[in-house]
Amino acid sequence: MNLLEFQAKRLLGRFAIATPIGQVAASESEAFEAARRLGCDRYAVKAQVPLLARMKYNGIAFASTPEQVRAQARSMIGKALRIGEPHSIGDIVQQVLVEERIESLREMYVAITLDRSAGKLVMLASAVGGEAIEERAAAEPGLIHRLELTLENNKAVADFHSLASIIADTPEVVTGLANLYRDLADAAVAYEATLIEINPLALTKDGRLIALDVKISADDSALYRRPELAALRQENDRIVCSPTELEAQRFQINYVPLDGDVGVVVNGAGLALATYDLIVDAGGQPANFMDIRTTATSLDIAHGFGMLLTNSQVKSILVNVHGGGMQRCDTIAEGIGIALRRHPRQIPIVICMAGNNADFARTILENNGTRYVAVSDMADAAQQAVALSRRKAA
Amino acid sequence: MAVLIGPETKVLCQGMTGRTATFHCGRMLSYGTQLVAGVVPGKGGNRHLDLPVYNHVREAIDATGANATIVFVPPNNAAAAIIEAIEAELPLIVCVTERIPILDMVRVRQALIGTQTRLIGPNSQGILAPGVTQLGVMSTVDASPGRIGIASRSASLTSEIVLQTTQAGLGQSTTIGVGGDPVHGVDLKTCVKLFLDDPDTDGVIVIGEIGGTEEEEAAELISELKPTKPIVALVAGRHAPPERRMGHAGAFASSSGGGTALSKIAALQSAGVVVAPNAATVGETMRKTLAV
């Protein structure tokens, strides 16, 4: 789960990490009011979307009066930051964060992330920060310093201190940084974060360290024991998920809407990726990425399949299923049958089934009178589905 | 013969009395797996599927001589169950459980350091040695005994490739699912090494996908070893829309960079691996490569 900036800043505040004073606003008048209440000399207005490089996409603007804040909020709210890739409604700005613009003496970088291969959390720190950090690090090896973390009674302060002394030179700043690093490590464990990134981390003229932008990704699998994060997840889903995606979640289906016209139903993410590749190779474009979880029942599957049947953008449907031990083909065949009874629609369906209970599944399809093109080879299945989507379109 | 498992493998099931575990233990038993006992805290002394149930892994090993375990414990206690098996010095642990919190797996990895235990998974379909034994939840209908080793990050794709290698008349020596979670036990590289060292495996298939750097690491190992056994790979997700990145940290975290389908394919090809053009042709690609 990716948190929005204002949520991430709120969470870090509890670990004594300073962020600029600010308030989130959902309309231009709220933004104006927020600015008036804050009473700063200079403001930053920041689009609350989970997107990298917001500066580049005009998602961050500056203002010096509440009136200007209102104008900036108006230019952002309700608009998509990124044009040309409407895959996610999360790109449409629904809220802006109005906060004090901090004058920084120096901008630094610090993050904690998961090193998958090492199976560890690592801290990455740099004396420079900002959106261009990646390009700079690529050109200048050694810019990023790395410290492996342990989970229990995190590192001794001394470790953070030696990291901090590479980054800063004056003793006060080193101490401040070391404390911030330690607090950040505690926060990462407490929020089960797979990423916490402060970029930039500002050092102000009066020697304060302030997190100007914060990104947090929390582990979805740990939400069951972090009720506070689970609540944020719900708040976020309403902001960044389309109603279709939310509906899919309720029915044990991983669903990502895409631009194409071939509806895709698979079980398993790897098979989904491979099927996607075959469809594109065959000259088509998937209308979605739909992965049935192993625990989905036939009714769940019926809901998922129904979403494709009721989507007029979908011109043909490809079902590519490998019955494993957990999800058997017959459950999926039943789900398809139920969906077709609920939403009768003349649409070409190509089905490729193998594995557990594949024959049983074919019998069910036959008993239900499901009309479909049966294929046994997934490349053939993809080609047929793409050809059929074309024929309808013409 | 197979890698990791064989007819001598005696298996415990942790979390055996659950619904899913009961179903799959029944399947494994009928496949011929030597399942010898269950371990379920608080249910010691009972019998389940006509097998004894113990409270602790240690106790079960002492009573049965088990040398492997398959973990079906739900996510909230799965890591503790794995760590119990590590502490009992079991050489092989297969964990099927999905959605174990990532930091719990970081703790498990910590517990594995300095031990002889091999962990497969979590979120793995397990290990299958066709015709011999099965430690996992995969379908076995399309599998056939043979001489191809399959190491995979995806359960459903393994199922497809197993079917293809069977249809190509090759069969499988062993299939290993390393698991779909970001932090897990045995990786693709280790599986490749196992297969290269196995006299009963003639060819290796690596099924990878976008994300992480396991394929690149496997490629690195392969270019070092310069094996004579043919290796065929598939990288799924060539056309997947780029993942929405949150921060820059991901780019700094791994020293080897990569993560995209292109970087994986390039790394594998430069290591001498034959990369199959798509998921439908992996079995055929292996057959042709072996024939050369």
Token digits of residue B282: 């992996």
A305-324: average pLDDT: 92
Q: What pLDDT was estimated at residue A84?
A: 53
A299-318: average pLDDT: 93
Q: Which of A5, A99, A100, A197 is catalytic?
A: A197
Cβ neighbours of residue B162 closer than 8 Å, sequence gap 6 or more: B128, B138, B142, B143, B150, B172, B175
Q: Does B259 touch chain A (CB under 8 A)?
A: no
Token digits of residue B29: 């038993």
DSSP per-residue letters across B201-230: --EEEEEEESSSSHHHHHHHHHHHH--SS-
Residue B144's pLDDT band, with cuts at 50, 70 and 90, is very high
Q: pLDDT digits over A192-211, tens only?
A: 999 999 999 999 999 999 99
Contact A43, A101 (CB under 8 A): yes
Contact B67, B10 (CB under 8 A): yes
- Does the bond joining B41 to the residue before it have cis omega, within 30 degrees of 0? no
Q: Does B252 touch chain A (CB under 8 A)?
A: yes
Q: What pLDDT was estimated at residue B69?
A: 98
Q: What pLDDT was estimated at residue A394?
A: 46
In whole angstroms, give the CA distance from residue A321 to residue A312.
Answer: 23
Q: How far is CA B13 from the centre of its chain?
A: 17
Q: pLDDT digits over B225-242, tens only?
A: 999 999 999 999 999 877
* Residue A342, pLDDT above cutoff 80: yes
B134-144: average pLDDT: 94
Contact list, A120 vs chain B (CB under 8 Å): 106, 109
In whole angstroms, give the CA distance from residue A365 to residue A369.
Answer: 6
Q: What pLDDT was estimated at residue B254?
A: 60
Token digits of residue A248: 């899919």
Count chain A–chain B contacts defined by CB atoms under 8 A. Answer: 211
Assessment of whether the complete model's pTM goes beyond 0.90: yes
Q: Look up A85 and say whether it is catalytic.
A: no
* Residue B186, pLDDT above cutoff 60: yes
Contact assignment for B110 to A151 by CB distance below 8 Å: yes
Give the ranges where chain A is alpha helix by DSSP (H): 5-13, 28-38, 66-76, 133-139, 157-167, 171-190, 227-240, 243-250, 269-281, 298-309, 329-342, 358-367, 378-393
In whole angstroms, give the CA distance from residue A133 to residue A144.
Answer: 9
Q: What pLDDT was estimated at residue B243?
A: 66
* Interface with B, mutate which of A56, A57, A114 (most B CBs under 10 A): A114
Q: What pLDDT was estimated at residue B258?
A: 65
CA distance A159 to chain B (A): 19
Q: Look up A197 and say whether it is catalytic.
A: yes
Per DSSP, what are the bridge partners of residue B53? B38
Contact B251, A131 (CB under 8 A): no
Residue B125's pLDDT band, with cuts at 50, 70 and 90, is very high
Of all residues in chain A, the percent with pLDDT exceeding 90 is 71
DSSP secondary structure letter of residue A2: B
A96-103: average pLDDT: 96
In whole angstroms, give the CA distance from residue B122 to residue B289.
Answer: 32
DSSP secondary structure letter of residue A92: B
Helices B155-167 and B282-291: crossing angle in degrees, nearest 10, is: 50
In whole angstroms, give the CA distance from residue B267 to residue B145.
Answer: 31
| B60 vs A292, more confident | B60
Token digits of residue A187: 């926060």
Sign of the CA dihedral with A242 first, then A244, A249, and A255 last: negative
**Integer angstrom CA distances of residue B4 from A61, A175, A353, B165, B199:** 58, 50, 30, 20, 13
The pLDDT mean for chain A works out to: 91
* Residue B81, pLDDT above cutoff 60: yes
